Amino acid sequence: MAYEVKNQRLVQWVHETAALCQPEAVYWCEGSQAEYDNLMAQMVAAGSAVQLKQRPNCFLFRSDPSDVARVEARTYISTPGKDDAGPTNNWIAPDELKGTMRKLYRGCMAGRTMYVIPFSMGPIDSPMAKIGVEITDSPYVVCNMHIMTRAGAKVIDALGPDGDFVPCLHSVGAPLAPGQPDVAWPCAPMEQKYISHFPEENLIWSFGSGYGGNALLGKKCFALRIATVLARREGWMAEHMLILRLISPAGKQYHIAAAFPSACGKTNLAMIQPTIPGWQAECIGDDIAWMKIGPDGRLYAINPEAGFFGVAPGTSYQSNPMAMDTIRENAIFTNCVLTDDGDVWWEGMGAPAPTHGIDWKGRDWTPGSPEPGAHPNARFTAPAAQCPVISSDWEKPAGVPIDIFVFGGRRAGVAPLVTEAFDWDHGVFLGATASSETTAANIGAVGNLRRDPFAMQPFCGYNMADYFQHWLDMGDRLGSQAPRIFYVNWFRKTPAGQWLWPGYGENSRVLKWMCERVDGVAPAQETPIGLLPSAADLDLDGLDIAPDNIRELLRVDRAAWQAEMPDIEKHFARFGDRLPERLRLQVQRLAARLGRG
């Protein structure tokens, strides 16, 4: 061990876990570059990673074909009562789930090293930061945690002898018998996978998967599912939101926090390059925001993460040039195509496809191959500090003051380009009824429309109805200092399937209108579903877009919205009596507004 651990609770937990999981060795991570290099070298030697000749210090991994995304169907919120987890979460009683998982954990690390990763979510010197310790038998997870969190000896120092931490236990669930050769990506079959949360104890147990949010436990498991529970208890917010700073030509700063479901463009928006002259943007975070009311009564946000775990396919110099520049070095790629000259490639990269490569399943691949070369949920892991537009304040311990909340999803129809909420309660209603087509970020059907409240459907660690109430309570506390709330949909299509809106950098035109609304200088039209700009209220200078498209993007289709009502009611009915009365009222009001005229 490279350091002394004075925290007896931690020492004891590591000891007990080693006794249960029976690893060949226990290794305490120090978080250094040498440690990272060493682990990568071992994984290259073992055949589970490929070093990329074309990108300095970059590595490619290929997962097992069964282990390519989060597994919502195997994700559990294990509270004493089923109602405390609520209708949107899978639930098994803690004793039963622990019994099942303890059996799986018994001897599960045989033949492997057990790594102990002390990590901080949030800059270590931030009063909002929280410490976790992940135990894992995956060196791939260790290297990813190096990038995604502040990890290692410095966290042990911050923890001290009696500091609090969230224990996060992870195993790929693939013990090795003596002499048994390892595979490139060990994992367990689906029916043995469990991504479990015990909110009463602030405890995370994950078994059987090595991929993304299933395995990098600081991210969705801690910074969202467990953190939502802590946030409600302690009066703050843990949200699935990017954070960005927009700067007007006059130099005024606006901070925007936006919630979209996984693989709906949060990373792209977080690194937006505004197309409107004079406007600039800086990135603070691309996935998670922790927010607390500051001494001045405003809401302050930090990014608890230190890296980006972004979707590779579709990322290009057109869609997200800043991400492309972020991943030139020191990045990890998972499930991308390996080109013959030692680079990565994916569909929608904007670069010509290689004439030959190795696909994410390790097979020869050519542009004519029947299947995509990269998995649709292929990912890059890269340090946030490498982003060319990372804000100089991205690690500011106190966070940045949020002016604007944005909700949204991916929907070909119905939801217009942008809507502003009438007031906080209506904004909470917009968040609570957000809907989106499902993506490859979860194992399951892609393209199905579902309600994804606040983009938190897979990430809320308690009853979602109580989470709605928490949003209402936060609004009451924030009062006139509350951020304005908007709903956007960049993904409208024509009946023939063409995009109505160009998106990406052009989204700055919509953001500009939001800022002008905050400043009280832009008009808005009152409609039954909220406040909308007219085409003249949006800065469309220099944008080549058909007037018909704009009209369609800003049209409120009353009949289509009336047809939405039964689904909204069904969605809310799932929560029974627990649904806040103030949201029930919002449904009635919307129905009345739609009914009129």
Contacts with Mn ion, residue ranges (CB under 5 A): 262, 287
Residue with Cβ nearer Mn ion (339 or 435): 435
CB 217 to ligand SAT: min, Å: 10
CB of 379 to Mn ion, least distance (A): 11
Using CA atoms, how far apart are residues 405 and 49, in angstroms rounded to an integer?
Answer: 40
Residue in the block written with tokens 């597994």: 71
220 binds ligand SAT (CB under 6 A): yes
213 binds, among ligand SAT, Mn ion, none (CB under 5 to 8 A by kind): ligand SAT
- To Mn ion, the closest distance from the beta carbon of 474 in angstroms equals 21
Strand partners, 404: 256, 484
Q: Which residue has the tokens 């901080």?
A: 120
Tell me the two tokens of residue 290: 């922790």
Query: Given candidates 62, 74, 219, 517, which one binds ligand SAT under the rule CB under 6 A?
Result: 219
Segment lying near ligand SAT (by CB under 6 A), choices 213-221, 336-344, 364-372, 477-485: 213-221
d(CA 406, CA 415): 14
Catalytic residue among 168, 264, 283, 460: 264
- Label residues 178-204 b or e (16+ Cβ within 10 Å = b): eeeeeeebbbbeeebbbbbbbbeebbb
Binding mask 422-441 for ligand SAT (x = CB under 6 A): -------------------x
Q: Shortest approach of Mn ion to residue 260 CB, angstroms?
A: 9
Secondary structure string (H, E, C) spanning 300-369 = EEECCCCEEEEECCCCCCCCCHHHHHHCCCCCEEECCEEECCCCEECCCCCCCCCCCEECCCCCEECCCC
212 touches which of Mn ion, ligand SAT, none (CB within 5 to 8 A by kind)? ligand SAT
70 binds ligand SAT (CB under 6 A): yes
Bridge-based pairing of strands 203-207 and 194-198 is: antiparallel
Q: Which of 259, 583 has the CB closer to ligand SAT?
A: 259
Quote the CA–CA distance of 91 and 102 in Å, as a whole number: 17
Query: Of 74 and 512, which CB lies nearer to ligand SAT in the complex structure?
Result: 74
- What are the helix and strand counts (H, E) for the chain? 16, 31
Query: Which residue, 213 or 533, has its beta carbon nearer to ligand SAT?
Result: 213
Pairing of strands 75-77, 194-198: parallel
Residue 212 lies near ligand SAT (rule: CB under 6 A): yes
State the DSSP code for 576.
G
Two structure tokens written together for 62 = 């290929």
Asked if 283 is an active-site residue, the reply is no
- Find the farthest-apart pair of alpha carbons in the chain and give their distance in angstroms, rounded: 76
**409 binds ligand SAT per the rule CB under 6 A:** no
173 binds ligand SAT (CB under 6 A): no
Query: CB-wise, 264 or 554, nearer to ligand SAT?
Result: 264
Residues 287-316 that bind ligand SAT (CB under 6 A): 309
Instruction: Give me the least distance between CB of 287 and Mn ion, in Å please.
Output: 4
Measure the CA–CA gap between 434 and 430, rounded to whole angstroms. 6
Shortest separation between residue 547's beta carbon and ligand SAT, angstroms: 36
**Stretch of 212-220, 350-358, 424-432, 558-566 lying at the interface with ligand SAT (CB under 6 A):** 212-220
Q: Residue 195: beta bridge partners?
A: 75, 206
Tell me which residues in 454-493 interact with ligand SAT (CB under 6 A): none
User: Which of 67, 84 has the CB closer to ligand SAT?
Assistant: 67
Contacts (Cβ under 8 Å, ≥6 apart) of 209: 67, 71, 172, 173, 187, 188, 193, 195, 215
Q: How far is the CB of 220 from ligand SAT (least distance, A)?
A: 5
Secondary structure of 89-100 in HEC code, one letter for each residue: CECCCHHHHHHH
Q: In what order do the strands lie in the sheet with 307-311?
A: 49-51, 59-61, 332-334, 379-383, 307-311
- Torsion 244-246-252-254 (CA) sign: negative
Minimum Å gap between C-beta 310 and ligand SAT is 9
Q: For the window 248-277, what string marks contact with ligand SAT as x by the rule CB under 6 A?
A: --------------x---------------
Total residues interacting with ligand SAT, rule: CB under 6 A:
8
294 neighbors 308 (Cβ within 8 angstroms) = no
Residues labelled as active-site residues: 264
| Interface residues toward ligand SAT, by CB under 6 A | 70, 212-213, 219-220, 262, 309, 441
